[in-house]
Amino acid sequence: MTRKTVRIAMNGVTGRMGYRQHLVRSILALRDQGGLDLGDGTVLWPEPVLLGRREHALREIAERHGLDHVSTDVDAVLADPAVDIYFDSQATSAREEALTKAILAGKHVYTEKPTATGLDGALALARLARDRGVRHGVVQDKIFLPGLLKLKRLIDGGFFGRVLSVRGEFGYWVFEGDRQPAQRPSWNYRAEDGGGIVVDMFPHWEYVLHELFGRVTSVQALATTHIPRRWDEQGKPYDATADDAAYGVFQLEGGVVAQINSSWAVRVHRDELVEFQVDGTEGSAVAGLRGCRAQHRGATPRPVWDPDVPATEVFRDQWQEVPDNAESGNGFKAQWELFLRHVHAGTPYHWDLLAGARGVQLAELGLKSSAEGRRVDVPEISL
């Protein structure tokens, strides 16, 4: 075996997602397994370079995990020819500029979403990456998670017949920050800092719908701020200027209708923090991040509406659990592996900056729909 080091500049690893999912559960997990075996006698060894503004926090992470490379100078790291890939999980408002610098420096780029604060910027990034000949990818983690992999297996096997509708519920109660610390950073609730649940979650819904059911052709959304006052990391009150809930209806190519509610002001009464119910002519399924339950047409009971008689059926018991049938690990790690193979072996990869731009577009048009109180068409975009 030949071990080849791939040096990855990771910007934003002091944040929750950057640290837990991308550094610890993806890159360090790859190191723990001995690297990524490309299957041709080569093993890729990821070597992270931790980037950020707070040197003491970066050094604390590096010491905790036995890492050697820390920097607060993004320009210097991008100028280093030993760095192969730039990864970005910063706050959204800082991402477009940093990705532009990385592409101009000739680095392959992998990034969280949204890739930019508007569609024009997202498309400019995709065009720049194409013109500079660098490889590029955007995190689209949810389609790699066990529950949605099971759902895709049902779709590919024709289980649903003709798919009629998709209903999604996402969210949980994010503490305001006064009595208990909030589980999300305060910038998420300030529009001026790039916050808002539409810009955060609609890019997810775009790729989930696109990959599983078809391209989104129109959106009608209502975005609102249910909790107008919150407390920041220093315990200081601030006005929440960004939306913390959004209720969307999406028309898809082929006639499928999707309804997805997203909220940081909802208490959970479901099995997982996100669930999708898919109804088709031949069967239905409910998928979360890990589990998936199905009910075929031939096993569908015949409920009768009678409000004067107590319900005796346990409706959840009438569904069958979809088996795992295969091991599926962390979705972020799975996509990292695919991107690293794409960079170093040229394997096909379509979760790129153009796919990221579609997510930015849907968020932008969702906010437009909410502001204007009408359905908005989603035109197909290309480079």
For residue 85, the cross-strand partners are 8, 108
CA–CA dist 293, 286 (Å, integer): 5
SS (H, E, C) the chain: CEEEEEEEEEECCCCHHHHHHHHHHHHHHHHHCCCEECCCCEEEEEEEEEECCCHHHHHHHHHHHCCCEEECCHHHHHHCCCCCEEEECCCHHHHHHHHHHHHHCCCEEEECCCCCCCHHHHHHHHHHHHHHCCCEEECCHHHHCHHHHHHHHHHHCCCCCCEEEEEEEEECECCCCCCCCCCCCHHHHCHHHCCCHHHHHHHHHHHHHHHHCCCEEEEEEEEECCCCEEECCCCCEEECCCCCEEEEEEEECCCCEEEEEEECECCCCCCCCEEEEEEECCEEEEECCCCEEEEEHHHCCCCCCCCCCCCCCCHHHHCEECCCCCCCCCHHHHHHHHHHHHHHHCCCCCCCHHHHHHHHHHHHHHHHHHHHCCCEECCCCCC
pLDDT of residue 304: 86
Is residue 322 over pLDDT 90?
yes
Q: How many CB atoms lie within 10 A of CB 318?
A: 13
Q: What is the pLDDT of residue 210?
A: 98
CA distances from 116 to 208, 213, 269 (A): 19, 25, 33
| Residue 326, pLDDT score | 76
* Residue 227: predicted pLDDT: 98
Query: Mean of the pLDDT values across residues 5-28?
Result: 96
pLDDT reported for residue 245: 98
Per-residue pLDDT tens for 223-282?
999 999 999 999 999 999 999 999 999 999 999 999 999 999 999 999 999 999 999 999
- Looking at residue 108, its amino acid is H
Q: Which domains does the chain have, with CATH numbers?
A: 2-140+331-352 (3.40.50.720), 142-329+361-376 (3.30.360.10)
β-strands 283-287, 274-280 pairing: antiparallel
Give me the pLDDT at residue 173, please.
Answer: 98
State the pTM of this model: 0.94
**Residue 209 binned pLDDT confidence (cut-offs 50, 70, 90):** very high
Of 383, 373, 365, 376, the residue nearest 118 (C-alpha) = 365
The residues with which 294 forms a beta bridge, in sequence order, are: 285, 320
Encoded amino acid at 76, one letter: A
Res 309 pLDDT > 80: yes
Residue 146 C-alpha from the chain's centroid: 14
Residue 4 pLDDT more than 80? yes
pLDDT at 355: 97
39 vs 341, which has greater pLDDT? 341
Q: Cα(7)–Cα(344) distance, rounded to whole angstroms? A: 12
List, for residues 323-380, the tens digit of each pLDDT value. 988 777 899 999 999 999 999 988 999 999 999 999 999 999 999 999 999 999 999 9
Characterize 73-105 residue by residue with b for buried, 16 or more Cβ atoms within 10 angstroms of its Cβ, and e for exposed.
ebeebbeeeebbbbbbbbebebbbebbbbbbeb
- Could you tell me if residue 40 is left (phi over 0), alpha (psi between -120 and 50 degrees) or otherwise beta? alpha
Mean of pLDDT values over 291-320: 91
Is residue 287 very low, low, confident or very high in pLDDT (cuts 50, 70, 90)?
very high
The C-alpha angle 52, 330, 275, rounded to 5 degrees, equals: 105
Question: Is residue 17 pLDDT above 80, yes or no?
Answer: yes
Cα–Cα distance list, 166 to 61, 130, 209, 256 (Å): 41, 34, 9, 7
pLDDT value at position 325? 83
